[in-house]
Structure 1
Amino acid sequence: GLVFSFNWKGAVVACIVVALPLMVRSVRLSLESVDPKLEHAASTLGASPLKVFLTITLPLTIPGIITGTMLSFARSLGEFGATISFVSNIPGETQTIPLAMYNFIETPGAEMEAARLCIISIALALSTLMISEWLNRKAASRLGAKR
């Protein structure tokens, strides 16, 4: 069978479980913001439910999907508790950036390594933010929104 404890698969599952609510909430709010009149108009013009979803609903929810994805990634990037609880802290197998930072902080004389990992985390978070903004602006311009 599948074994999730003490290996990288368990670390992935732990991060997904912690980050999934952020994704679901963003997508749900985005879906709720779609004007049902648009979907109804497409249906009355003969579009099938699948075509309505693919041509009306999905394009209008893309900003929410992008936001949810980026929030989930950011949450997973900083995940400490679930990872150390469910899969431990095994270097090269289940050790994430926050767990490596924890190890370096606990090791005398390794503060610079912890600081280096902190800078890498900040760079990853800022890169994710810039990519998210770029994707949202691109999606908004395709939908004809003014920003």
Structure 2
Amino acid sequence: MSPEILEPLRLSILVACAATVLAGLFGTALAWIFARRRFPGRGALDLAVTLPLVLPPTVTGYYLILLLGRRGLLGGPLHEATGWTVTFTWAACIVAATVMALPLMVKTAQAAISAVDRDYEEAARTLGSTEWDVARRITLPLARKGILAGLVLAFARALGEFGATLMLAGNIPGRTTTMPLAIYTAVSTGDDDAAQVLVILLTAVSAAVLVIAGRLGQTRW
């Protein structure tokens, strides 16, 4: 295959893997907090995490620019301190994919954690276990099926991310062009052969993810 196909494929897989790791770490922590804790501002935090599910991806991307752009709330101080900006880099691809995948991870893991019988947790606490031990040894292992399903869905969402990535990272060949962006470019320039190959590859990977997710849903642990 040509570099025009291999490079977007490589970048997409790397971005999806990195975004899945980040979404898995932050998403599992947030899922546990939402499932087991009540605190002021919980609703606002839940809303902020969930909004990317319902907002157009370009709108989410615009919010990310306001936050991480060269003059953004966080991006401005970062640029002044280091001279580096997140926008239009491979890191922007990861950030966009993570933000878009995070709600799926959180909601799937939250449902799994909420389904864990609290009696097991209470029994562990009466035996002297700390909250961290309870979560690490009881809650999360019992919810692992849902957490793994969330990771699979997060990977699929990150792999197919387009709108927020285009806004925050741009479409720079060899630098920020992921598979969805490469498909868009190929269709826009009339390169039907490249578009077909990319579409087939992305469809195959997405179908494999759905199969894995389905088997996870049927597996007894």
TM-score when normalising by structure 2: 0.57
Q: State the 1:133 CA deviation.
A: 4.7
Q: State the 1:71 CA deviation.
A: 1.1
1:127 has 2:208 as partner: yes
Letter in 2 for 1:126: A
Aligned mates of 1:70, 1:63 — CA distance in 2:
11
Q: Deviations over 1:49-100 (max 9, x none)?
A: 3332222111111112111111111111111110111111001100010000
Aligned mates of 1:93, 1:47 — CA distance in 2:
48
Aligned mates of 2:98, 2:143 — CA distance in 1:
21
Aligned mates of 2:86, 2:131 — CA distance in 1:
39
- 8 Å CA contact retained: 1:66, 1:136: no
SS in 2 for 1:94: coil
Q: State the 1:130 CA deviation.
A: 3.7
TM-score when normalising by structure 1: 0.84
Q: State the 1:47 CA deviation.
A: 3.4
Q: Considering only aligned residues, what root-mean-square deviation do their CA atoms show, in Å? A: 1.9
Aligned mates of 1:50, 1:15 — CA distance in 2:
29
Q: State the 1:132 CA deviation.
A: 3.9
SS in 2 for 1:4: coil
Partner residue, 1:79: 161
1:58 has 2:131 as partner: no
- 8 Å CA contact retained: 1:24, 1:68: yes
Q: State the 1:15 CA deviation.
A: 0.9
1:15 has 2:108 as partner: no
1:117 has 2:198 as partner: yes
- Greater mean alpha carbon deviation, residues 125-134 or residues 86-95: 125-134
Q: Higher Cα Rg: structure 1 or 2?
A: 1
Please, which of 148, 161, 183 is the counterpart of residue 101 of structure 1?
A: 183
Letter in 1 for 2:140: L
Letter in 2 for 1:121: L
- Percent same amino acid among aligned pairs? 41
SS in 2 for 1:26: helix
- 8 Å CA contact retained: 2:116, 2:139: yes
- Greater mean alpha carbon deviation, residues 84-93 or residues 122-131: 122-131
SS in 1 for 2:143: helix
